[in-house]
Amino acid sequence: MDFNERQKHIIEIVKSHEPITGDKIAEMLSVTRSTLRTDLSILTKTHVLEARPKVGYCYVGDYMPSQTVEAVMKTNVEDIMGRSVAIDEKTSIYDAIVMMFLEDVGTMFVLSDQMLAGVISRKDFIKSALGGTDLKAMPVTVIMTRMPNIIMAQKHEKMLHVAKRLMEHEIDCLPVVEVVKDFKGQEGYKVIGRISKTNITSHFVDLFINI
Ligand code: ADP
């Protein structure tokens, strides 16, 4: 919800002088108490302010500027996606683990002829280590999550939709893909980036930290 200029001014006054009476707010704005009645009623009903009997108005802070809400709603995957880390399908599990540490990521994408073939993350590596696999001999294809089970995103999708997808599938990261034809003329997915819970959290922090 957006507020008019006087309501925004009241919020600022209450924020810096709480608890403050209605009379005092009226005095500070040089208006009558009855002029403020509707504004104060809107601000308390929307839970921005709380009227505490015999104390005054306090700020309870549900106010979110409509520009911030709009900015969240219109953020697309391409606005916040990061660089993807990909390995070839012939890479050994051991080399992939080393790569994951060097790149400081939790999920990597596995490519076959440059096209997305699999996803591999920390749990997959831990499982293979627990199972006594020969990490230097086995390729990542043995333990990766493979097509068609890969959950993906496209660059023009809304961030919020992709965030919901991450939550529903209980995963940390999605490859951002484009549909292309491979050298045999077959359709495949080219990885152009990644979107992770970290990208999304960091975007929320940037938008909300100064409210
Ligand atoms: P972690 O292994 O660090 O807990 P996740 O929770 O993201 O990371 O991954 C858990 C499992 O889900 C792993 O087996 C992984 O291969 C798989 N996985 C991760 N990302 C995806 C994805 N985008 N699509 C399908 N499966 C995935």
Query: Where does residue 105 rank: exposed (0-12), middle (13-18), buried (19+ CB within 10 A)?
Result: buried
What's the CA-to-centroid distance between 185 and ligand 1, angstroms? 29
Contacts with 122 (C-beta within 8 Å, 6 or more apart), sequence order: 100, 106, 107
55-107 tens-digit pLDDT: 999 998 766 667 777 888 899 999 999 999 999 999 999 999 999 999 999 99
- Kindly give the number of the ligand 1 atom that is closest to the alpha carbon of 171: 7
Residue 182 banded pLDDT, cuts 50, 70, 90:
confident
The pLDDT tens digits for 12-39 are: 999 999 999 999 999 999 999 989 999 9
CA–centroid distance, residue 166 to ligand 1 (Å): 10
Q: Which residues line ligand 1 (CB under 6 A)?
A: 106-107, 119-124, 145, 149-151, 171-174
Q: Is the confidence at residue 53, as pLDDT, over 70? A: yes
Rounded Cα distance, 9 and 95, in Å: 59
Question: What's the 119 CA to ligand 1 centre distance in angstroms?
Answer: 7
pLDDT higher at 46 or 118: 118
Probe residue for ligand 1, chosen from 93, 116, 119 as the CB with the greatest number of ligand atoms within 8 Å: 119
How confident is the model at residue 131, as a pLDDT?
86
**What is the pLDDT, as a whole number, of residue 184?**
80
Tell me the mean pLDDT in the region 185-191.
91
